[in-house]
Amino acid sequence: MDEFVGLNPREVVQRVSSSLGCSPTSAQVAAYFDKHDKLRHLRDQFLVPKIADLPPSDVSLVDGTKECIYLVGNSLGLQPKMAQKYLEEELEKWAKMGVHGHTLGSRPWAWAEDNIEGLMANVVGAKSEEVALMNGLTVNLHLLMLAFYKPTAARHKILLENKAFPSDHYAVESQIRLRGFDPQQSMLLLSPRPGEETLRTEDILEVIEKEGDSIAVVMFSGVQYYTGQLFNMTAITEAGQRKGCYVGFDCAHAAGNVELKLHDWGVDFACWCSYKYINSGAGGLAGAFIHKKHKHTIKPALTGWWGHDLKTRFQMSNELELQPGVKGFRLSNQPILLVCPLQASLEVFNMTSMQALRRKSLLLTGYLEYLIQHYYSEDPTRPQKPHVHIMTPSDPQQRGCQLSLSFSIPIRRVFQELERRGVACDMREPSVLRIAPVPLYNSFSDVHRFIETLGAALAAGSQ
């Protein structure tokens, strides 16, 4: 589909439908896109649940033997097929050789995570030495903040979004208290303008410019979990650093979703989880990034034996040979049972590139947007007809794959009707659905089936 690069999705849909001689809303368009999708084979690397196996499904309404319409990879990614095999290998190794598994086999437990950090670094645009795989996301956020947030009387604030993910909000709040400051004074929360739903880059940069001298750390998300807004990380990083702030990003909704260049952008630090777009399974091993420019200057506040140089780690000298950079932040030996599914997923990512995934994603999400606008734009002549407003920015450069839809009617019934028909997506009361067509395994037909099912669900839900 390279001939479409640079065209907007609306134009692409119209061109394809006129060459096929069908309506732009026809399922033939989706089938055409799927047929020409060079990444289509990657879906085969994942286990897509069948409709009948999803608990809310009603197989009297839809064919239960079909694959479900899985649009919730922003919450929990699908299971890579190799995950089970890798887990079984390690369980068998444990059963057969016990403690010897630490140093033997293709995945020696004592340094198993070292083998996949390079794969993860490719996904987030980092050098291998800048990435550590450890702990959970919130734990890593705390460990990084302990090293980067050193408030003084003059510079004590942390800048973040007003509606940041709760865990990030609590983490920042508690870090401020831990240093003896008051969140009321030190937490600088940025809200959209009145009547708007997403933040304007110019407003973010203006606050940094105005308040920067009192800001110790700018701590934004890469992609906002609720609105789906992709922030301009380059501009935010530059602006913050020009004012002498450290700039960190929570990339939970950005990693594996959009192209990141954490190294090239000069981001100071970042963290992310691996169970959303990176498909490592609930509670999977999380990531942490510290730019290599800080390799010898930023030190971990808390240390453990896994931060000790591997060559001498097991000599037990009690004289810490701290690994430089983020590797020195590791505390405990890593759980091999979490390394296995993460490896399985990262290998799939490394069969392609984030650049290629993003190219598909722009069309996939653009196609979803096109169909929603076609069917559910507000129609002044039919005020009773439910309509859908897309909260996520319409500029593709300001979003990832997710669209956050807000409905003119309460959404609970409609959501239930979607679930009964085999759609897995996310609802936030009273009226928002978050829909994430993931380029790694979702198809254009998934998007088309979703739109058809939404029509049926709205009809059933408003009876």
Detail the residues annotated as belonging to a binding site for pyridoxal 5'-phosphate: 137-138, 165-168, 221, 250, 253, 275, 305, 333
Peptide bond into 430 cis (omega under 30): yes
119 sits in which H/E element: helix 114-124
The CB-side HSE value for 6 (13 A sphere, CA atoms) comes to 2
Structure tokens at 163: 């509606």
Least Cβ distance, residue 157 to ligand PLP (angstroms): 20
Nearer to ligand PLP, 166 or 410 (CB): 166
Nearer to ligand PLP, 176 or 454 (CB): 176
- Site mask for ligand PLP (CB under 6 A), range 86-125, x = bound: ----------------------------------------
Q: How far is CA 110 from CA 54, 328, 432, in A?
A: 38, 16, 45
Nearer to ligand PLP, 252 or 364 (CB): 252
221 counts as binding ligand PLP under rule CB under 6 A: yes
The residue written with tokens 């831990």 in the block is 178
- Evaluated on CA atoms 134, 159, 298, 256, the torsion sign reads positive
Least Cβ distance, residue 106 to ligand PLP (angstroms): 28
165 counts as binding ligand PLP under rule CB under 6 A: yes
Phi-psi region at 30: left, alpha or beta (left = phi > 0; alpha = psi -120 to 50): alpha
Nearer to ligand PLP, 250 or 446 (CB): 250
Closest CA to 288 of 439, 96, 137: 137
Q: Which stretch binds ligand PLP (CB under 6 A): 147-155, 232-240, 245-253, 346-354?
A: 245-253
168 counts as binding ligand PLP under rule CB under 6 A: yes
Query: What's the CA gap between 79 and 313, in Å, rounded?
Result: 34
434 counts as binding ligand PLP under rule CB under 6 A: no
Query: What's the CA gap between 245 and 185, in Å, rounded?
Result: 17
Nearer to ligand PLP, 24 or 393 (CB): 393
252 counts as binding ligand PLP under rule CB under 6 A: yes
457 phi, psi to nearest 5 deg:
-70, -40
32 counts as binding ligand PLP under rule CB under 6 A: no
Q: Contact at 8 Å (CB) between 134 and 288?
A: yes
Nearer to ligand PLP, 273 or 388 (CB): 273
The CB-side HSE value for 51 (13 A sphere, CA atoms) comes to 21
Least Cβ distance, residue 140 to ligand PLP (angstroms): 8
Q: Which stretch binds ligand PLP (CB under 6 A): 134-142, 197-205, 341-349, 350-358?
A: 134-142
Q: Which stretch binds ligand PLP (CB under 6 A): 163-171, 177-185, 306-314, 377-385?
A: 163-171
288 counts as binding ligand PLP under rule CB under 6 A: no
281 counts as binding ligand PLP under rule CB under 6 A: no
Q: How far is CA 376 from CA 83, 382, 435, 448, 462, in A?
A: 39, 11, 15, 14, 15
77 counts as binding ligand PLP under rule CB under 6 A: no
Least Cβ distance, residue 185 to ligand PLP (angstroms): 24
Nearer to ligand PLP, 166 or 244 (CB): 166
Classify burial at 96, counting beta carbons within 10 Å of its beta carbon; exposed 0-12, middle 13-18, buried 19 or more: exposed
273 counts as binding ligand PLP under rule CB under 6 A: yes
Least Cβ distance, residue 161 to ligand PLP (angstroms): 10
Nearer to ligand PLP, 37 or 168 (CB): 168
Helix axes 166-178, 137-148, angle to 10 degrees: 30
Binding site for ligand PLP (CB under 6 A): 136-138, 165, 167-168, 221, 225, 250, 252-253, 273
